[in-house]
Amino acid sequence: GFRCGIVGLPNVGKSTIFNALTAAGIESANYPFCTIEPNVGMVPVPDERLDQLATMAKTRNKVNARMEFVDIAGLVSGASQGEGLGNQFLGHIRQVDAIAHVIRCFADDNIVHVGGSIDPLRDREIINTELILADLETVRKRLDKTAAQVKSGQKGAKEQQAFLQALADHLDQGQPARTMEPDDIGQEVLKELFLLSAKPVLYVANVAEEEIGSGNPWVEKLKEVAAAEQASVVMISGAIEEELSHLEEEERRAFLDDLGQSEPGLNRLIRSGYQLLGLITYFTVGEKETRAWTIPQGWKAPQAAGVIHTDFERGFIRAEVISCQDLLACGSETKAREKGLMRLEGKDYVVRDGDCINFRFNV
């Protein structure tokens, strides 16, 4: 999956961030931002390695990896109980593979906060609670079914019941499913349940423009809580990103320099989202085209080749592989070959992030 949902309470800056993300997409010549639905944006993944490889190969066509962001508005407290809007909100979350949870960490008296004050930990709790309550409902239904299976003596039902009970207790204590450490049986059960709180999450701390360099105590608190669940925090200023999205490249550089930032916060957000989805990138490098390809971590060479073309997977013979660091250091494929740095890998090779690959295949 390649979809990251942007969630959060109303007025925290979700749309501002989403709009800036999709505006950034417009500037990528190869992947113009395409609207699938009004709230879905296809976004190029910024990658310096790709830029360097493209320069090295004097390529005519540079193609970034891309991923989808979905702006999921409409969370209200009580969504897990409610019909209509609340349900719709949860339904949208069910369809994404990871969650970027935007949390308001900027003060602005002109912008109403639904909770009445700035309180990142409370805001995080409110959303988490809705997801956990919805999951609890799912798990209880499954427990009822399993109880019947235990009665009828179905094989493995008892073990499932034990796991489901532990899971229900875990959720009942306000813990998301993602912090559960399931055994093998639990893993199987979890896979079938498609729980909302099992999805990987990152927090987006939306700070005021003037605090992008320094951060603030709200962000620090959020970081502490996030660390406890091994989630990352990306600090961003919606206001800055919005301004940047209206600027030409040169003005943009100057504005970022003024702020002491090396790149837009969105770049960090996109890369973090990509990582959160468990995705890695390999490259194909050439004069005609230099391109970043996306695969899930752990894929083997033939599967990875299949992303380019199904024929590549079916007729896979071997892959010529070199890390992008080595290739860049050599300056050309020919040099890399001379130095013996191109490796021949077979069908069991697990592709690594940053590999540059030529596939050999039969048609």
Contacts to ligand GDP from residues 100-129, by CB under 6 A:
106, 108, 111
Cα gap 313→315, rounded to integer Å: 6
In the list 4, 5, 7, 14, the residue contacting ligand GDP (rule: CB under 6 A) is 14
Cα gap 115→123, rounded to integer Å: 8
Which amino acid makes up residue 227? A
Measured N-to-C along each axis, helices 238-245 and 265-276 cross at an angle, to the nearest 10 degrees, of 110
Single out the segment in contact with ligand GDP by CB under 6 A; choices: 7-15, 56-64, 313-321, 351-359.
Answer: 7-15
Per CB under 6 A, does 193 bind ligand GDP? no
Per-residue binding string, ligand GDP, 233-252, x by CB under 6 A, is ----xxx-------------
Per-residue binding string, ligand GDP, 15-44, x by CB under 6 A, is xx----------------------------
DSSP letters along 293-321, please?
EEEETT-BHHHHHHTT-HHHHHTEEEEEE
Q: Is 288 annotated as a binding residue?
A: no
State whether residue 336 is helix, strand or coil.
helix
Q: Which is nearer to ligand GDP, 49 or 268 (CB)?
A: 268
Structural contact between residues 9 and 128, judged by C-beta atoms closer than 8 angstroms: no
Measured N-to-C along each axis, helices 120-151 and 85-94 cross at an angle, to the nearest 10 degrees, of 80
Per CB under 6 A, does 10 bind ligand GDP? yes
CB crowding 117-152: b at 16 or more within 10 Å, else e:
ebbbeebbebbbbbbbbbbbebbeebeeebeeebee
Centroid of chain to Cα 261: 22
Q: How far is the CB of 297 from ligand GDP (least distance, A)?
A: 31
Helix and strand totals (H; E) in the chain: 14, 12
Per CB under 6 A, does 5 bind ligand GDP? no
**Residue matched to tokens 């995080």:** 124
Total length of the chain: 363
Which amino acid makes up residue 246? H
Q: Is 39 annotated as a binding residue?
A: no
Q: How far is the CB of 18 from ligand GDP (least distance, A)?
A: 7
**Residue of minimal Cβ distance to ligand GDP:** 238
**Residue matched to tokens 């099992």:** 198
Contacts to ligand GDP from residues 207-226, by CB under 6 A:
208
Q: Which is nearer to ligand GDP, 4 or 280 (CB)?
A: 4
Count of residues touching ligand GDP (by CB under 6 A): 16
Q: Which is nearer to ligand GDP, 164 or 204 (CB)?
A: 204
Q: Which is nearer to ligand GDP, 52 or 261 (CB)?
A: 261
Q: How far is the CB of 112 from ligand GDP (least distance, A)?
A: 9
Cα gap 78→296, rounded to integer Å: 35
Q: Return binding residues.
A: 11-16
Q: Return binding residues for ATP.
A: 11-16
Positions that interact with ligand GDP (CB under 6 A)? 8, 10-16, 106, 108, 111, 206, 208, 237-239
